[in-house]
Amino acid sequence: MKVIYNRYFPFGSYWAINLLGLVFARRDRGRLGPEELNHEYIHTLQQREMLFVVFFLWYLLEWLVRLVQYRSPHLAYRNISMEREAYAMQRDLQYRLHRPLFAWRKWL
């Protein structure tokens, strides 16, 4: 996983975004710490196991469902199953070594 620091992307209040195993991070927010890097690595594992394209389709579809459910873009984002897994396990720096395949389904 490679981290690319830049000024503009991701937009808005987001600090980092993982696209195909490349992490784009806003440098004005400082360097990513071990927990944030682990969070993004969990997304890399999710993307790989879902063959990248399926991950992004599922992510968008689930975000739309959660948007209807919670009526808030931020709450919809925080309740996507892939984000719930990444946030719940980001402090476990060994998680990637024992993470089962498709573990995000636990948070559906």
Q: What is the pLDDT of residues 16-53, one digit of tens each?
A: 999 999 999 999 999 999 999 999 999 999 999 999 99
70 in any annotated domain: yes
17 in any annotated domain: no
88 in any annotated domain: yes
Contacts of 54 (CB under 8 A, 6+ apart): none
23 in any annotated domain: no
72 in any annotated domain: yes
The whole-angstrom separation of Cα 69 and Cα 20 is 28
Domain with 89 in it: 32-107
**pTM score of the predicted model:** 0.95
20 in any annotated domain: no
Instruction: Let me know: does 78 contact 65? Beta carbons within 8 Å.
Output: no
CA distances from 108 to 1, 5, 6, 74, 81 (A): 26, 31, 33, 17, 5
How many domains does one find in the chain? 1
The yes-or-no verdict on residue 94 having pLDDT over 90 is yes
**Per-residue pLDDT at 13:** 87
**Per-residue pLDDT at 107:** 96
89 in any annotated domain: yes
